Structures are given as C-alpha cells and as structure tokens.
Structure 1
Amino acid sequence: MKVSKLYIYPIKSLRPTPLTTAAISPEGIKYDRRYMLIKVEPGKDEAEPTLKNMHIPHFPEMGLFQTAVEFPKDNDDTGKIIVTYNPPSTQEMDDPRPCEMKQIEIPIRIRLTQVKTMKEMKVVMHQSSTTGYVMDDEYDDWFSECFGFPVILAYLGKCSREVLGTLTPENRNNVPW
C-alpha cells in the first residue's frame, strides 16, 4: 500500500490540512479532530438552548473555512490552527455575515493547567459521549459572526469516546455473541 496524500481535520468538519508527515498517538493521528463546532439552538418558551453538533452535510457553509496548522516546535509552544473564512464573492444585501476574508488563530495544544480551568460540556458524536471543553468567547464570537448564528468551539483534546458501530454485513452473522 502506498499513501499518496494525508490530511488532518484539526476542527471536525472544516476543510482539512494536508500533511507531509504525521505522528501517530494512541488517539490516532496527532492533532486530528481536536476541536468541533456546536450550534446553539435557542430553547422554545424560555427552555434551555439545545446544542447540535455541526457536520458539513447539514451545514455546507463549513466548506467556506480553510485550516492550516503550525505545529508546536517544543514543549513551551502551543502551536496554532489558522482558520481562514472565505465567504462567497456575491452576498445578499440582508445577509449579516462578513463578506470579506478573515482569519483567527487557535492554539492546537491546550496545556493541562488551562484545561482544568475550562468549562466542561458533554459532547455526543454518533451516539457515543465524551467530555468537551468550552473555549474562550473570542472564538465562539468569531465563528458565530461568520455563520450568522450562535456557535460554540469545543476543545476535545485527548478525550476519547467509545466508537459504536456495526460490523460489515458479511461479518455480522459470524460474531460469537
């Protein structure tokens, strides 16, 4: 087998970053899917808002964001994800979203001492839950302005989740349980 291209998605469902080399960790390719975006949907009749994971099939505007990575050079360096928002060149007059390209930098590695001070949140992906951490308001505000609705940037870091799934059809009947 020959690997011809390799990508990571530092923020789940945004456009990927190409790699020339990759380090593998127990969680998979290092720095892959460290963050995810969550839409805040207002509650009805003063109910608490609900949170909805954002995936590109349901939020195609996620394709307007390009990611690049500057990896940490040493233990003191957090590295960074550079997210570039590239809105369409033609935009409706009543669309409140920015119409010019803009960027934000997000640390790719959060120190454990920082994580301990962050607000925890339950994140469920494909019926499997894990812990996420709410990033600072500056990131939520930036993404919310670009999308035109409230968004939370959640840091997943090294939190793992159980991967639930089914076996391929040809193996489903051969399972001993």
Structure 2
Amino acid sequence: MLYEVPTGTGELKKIQLDTHPLCALFEQQIVPGSQDGEEVIDVRFRGSLPHDTEAGKDSQLLKVPLTPDLSFLERIETNLHGSPASAYRMGDSYDAWFTQRFGVPTILVYLGDGRRAVLGKTLVPKSAQEPQQKGWITSWTSYITGSQGSDGAPWISFSDVAPLMVTSESSLQDVRERLLNGFPVEMYKFRPNIVVDGQGEDAWAEDFWAELQIGNEDGDGVQKSTFQVTGNCVRCVSLNVDYKTGRPADGEDGSVLKRLMKDRRVDPGSKWSPVFGRYAFLDGRHTGGVTVSVGDDVEVTRRNTERSAWDWPL
C-alpha cells in the first residue's frame, strides 16, 4: 500500500487512483524466483517524472520482494477506510522511488502479519475459514482473499473493503451502448478480479448474485470453487481517469461516472453513488488452494431477492 505523508502533519493519506490519477501509469507483475531465488513483484512506471531530478536517470523498474523479512522493517500504524491495521514500512529506497514519481512524500507499506477488519454487516461473508495452504502462489492467494481472525471475524488485507470484485461483460456492454453512446470504455477501468462473459444473464443481473461456483469438473474429480458475493461496488471518480496519461480524461472517457449516475444509483445504503460490480469472498469451506482460469464455467448458485444495502461506516 502507498501512503502520502503530508508535510507538517505526519498524518498518512492513502494513495489511490481516485485522488492520485498517476496510479494508472504503474504496472505490477509477480515474478517467481527472479531475485536470489525469491519471488518479487516487478513494478514499472510508464510515465515521466513530474519534476527535474537526478532520479530521472534511475530505472523505471522497481523490484519489491513478495514476502520481505519483517525483522528488518519498522512497524507503522495504518488506517484504510476506517479499518486500522499494524503494518511495516518497506524502507527508504522504496519510498524514494515512489516519491520521485508522484512528486509528493510517499511511503510503501507492507501489511505482513497485520489484518484489517471487514466493517459493517452486509459485506461480511457467512464463513471465512482459514485455508491451510502451502507454496508461494497458494499462500499469496489465501492472503489476498481474506480469512478469519482469532476472534472468528473475517479479515482483509489492503484491498479497499473486500478481497475480490466480480463484473459482467453484459453490464459493460450496456454502459457502452446505452449510456456512453457506443464509446468503447474498457473493463480495466472498473478494476475487477473476475469477469463473467454474461451469457445467459441479462445486464445487471449480478446486482442480485449471492453465490457463484467457478470451474470445470473433469474425470479427475476437479471441484468447482465457491465464492460468496456479498455487496455492491459503489463507484467514484477513478472511473474518469485516462490510463494513457495518468490524468482525468476528456470527452466520453471522462464522463463514465456521470453517465452511470443516470440510473445506476441503485444501492439503498449509498444513494449518491452508482453501482458497477459486486464484492466477493472465497467461501470458507475451501480449506485448500483453489484454481480459477480464463474460460472456466460460472454458475450462479444463489441469488438475493432484494438488493444489498451498503453499510460500511465511512
């Protein structure tokens, strides 16, 4: 997680796409075994530095260890959307790299063994059992999909309010054709983890999805993975960012949020924000790793009769 440290206050301020459009110019990729046999995250910056500096000679690639050694890191208290957690500062070299690109004092924070609570009642999954997994990729998957704390309450990492978001191609097509006059807005603007192609489902059918099963059973007995779909994703000005420039977009590309407001303010708990997509958690009955692949079958196994109501206490 990136935080800005405003001059003079010391109070951390989250760096995210809605307030810092330059986030759109960073790309991340997990690279197994690329640095001394350890897995790293390659972070690339596609833009230019916002001010003249000797740092302009530095590489636009930053390598961040996927599982850093916590014994060398400074603890720091964080708060994201009202859900606090104890975390770790990655160090001066990482802070300097991001500071040079954002043009404001920036620190890189690793959650590590910290946990953030899922707030409110509507987003909380019915179960969030701790998966017992081994291996770097399954452990990482367990980490980002949330789990259960010692008090039995579900937790999340530095995801905003839930570990996963599900959207559908049919709803995106409706936005393009009906609200944006055919403008080809891309799905990446909505930043989902799972995209359903929408066959057999009308646009916006996901508003009422409560549970999905994803995967293809075969002769080897491969089982489908179950996901609990618990709440709506209410949208902000991040939808209007131009991913080529890292700035607010012009024209139709910069009016996505406004157009959605026309008839997508459908969540009774957040009546001023339009909805696109649904938040999801890996079902707690999965005690081992799960695999989801492009092209897997998706089945809606449970639907709500009424719309979810947003109640995260922001």
The verdict on a shared fold, with TM-score over 0.5 as the criterion, is yes
**CA deviation string 1:90-115 (max 9, x = no partner):** x88xx3374997111110112xxx31
Native 8 Å contact 1:67 1:83 kept in 2: yes
Residue of 33, 40, 65 corresponding to 2:5 = 40
CA offsets 1:22-61 (integer angstroms, 9 cap, x no match): xxxxxxxxxxxxxx00001011xxxx42210111111110
Question: Which has more helix, going by share of residues?
Answer: 2
Equivalent residue number for residue 159 of structure 2: none
Q: Which residue of 2 aligns with 1:85?
A: 45
**Residues in 2 aligned to 1:79 and 1:134: alpha-carbon distance in whole angstroms:** 19
Q: Residues 4-32 of structure 1, C-alpha deviation per residue, up to 9 Å, x if partnerless? A: xxxxxxxxxxxxxxxxxxxxxxxxxxxxx
Match for 1:108 among 66, 75, 81?
66
% identical equivalent positions? 29
Output the TM-score relative to the length of structure 2.
0.36
Whether 1:151 and 2:106 are equivalent positions in the alignment is: yes
Cα deviation, 1:57-80, whole Å, max 9, x if unaligned, reads 11110111111111359xx84310
Whole-Å separation in 2 of the counterparts to 1:99 and 1:148: 16
1:120 to 65, 75, 84: 75
1:123-142 matched pairs, under 5 angstroms: 123-142=78-97
Confirm or deny: 8 A CA contact 1:86 1:100 kept in the other structure.
no
Match of 2:30 in 1: 69
CA distance in 2, matches of 1:121, 1:139: 15
The higher radius of gyration belongs to 2
Amino acid aligned to 2:99: S
RMSD: 2.7
Q: Normalising by structure 1, report the TM-score.
A: 0.61
Q: Segments of 4+ in structure 1 off by > 2 A?
A: 95-101, 165-172
Counterpart residue identity of residue 103, structure 1: L
For 2:22, the aligned partner's letter is E
Cα pair 2:75 2:87 within 8 Å, conserved: yes
